[in-house]
Amino acid sequence: MKKTSRSIPDTNTIVRYLVADDPTLHAKAREFFDKVKNGGARAVILESVIAECIYVLTKIYKVPRDRAAKSLIDLLHYKGIVNDDRPELISALTLFSEQRLDIVDCILCAKAAAILGVRPSLNYHQGTCKH
């Protein structure tokens, strides 16, 4: 059985696409993501890349948490994004935008909830989730 071709964009590609601070790199990233958006190209966005994007967007570019999360959620909804863990990543980004938790903790909560089949409850004193 032949597998279809998939790309794995890195943090730099995603950040250049979202912030458009370098016209040349933004144009290349936009060309790629325009294809992904309409399903003409397929891509997987790794959770480590999501975490690094959140760090770069919020710490380096000072993008508000909710706006950074929404931008990445919108990207994950593109037709050509083929992540098996897309629902968990969207859940993690939603949690990140609503709570004062680190993105890695949010990813852990979302993945644990999916694996255990339960909704996570947050422990605000420790900044972690419990199931």
pLDDT tens, position by position, 17-70: 999 999 999 999 999 999 999 999 999 999 999 999 999 999 999 999 999 999
Range of the domain at 49: 11-130
Residue 128: per-residue pLDDT: 54
Residue 122 in any domain: the answer is yes
Within a domain: 113: yes
Asked whether residue 94 is domain-assigned, the answer is: yes
78-131 pLDDT per residue, tens: 999 999 999 999 999 999 999 999 999 999 999 999 998 876 666 554 555 655
- Give the pTM: 0.88
Residues 6+ positions from 59 with CB-CB distance below 8 Å:
none
Q: What does the DSSP assignment read for 2-29?
A: PPPP-B---HHHHHHHHH--SHHHHHHH
For the chain, how many structural domains are there in total? 1
Residue 3 included in any domain:
no
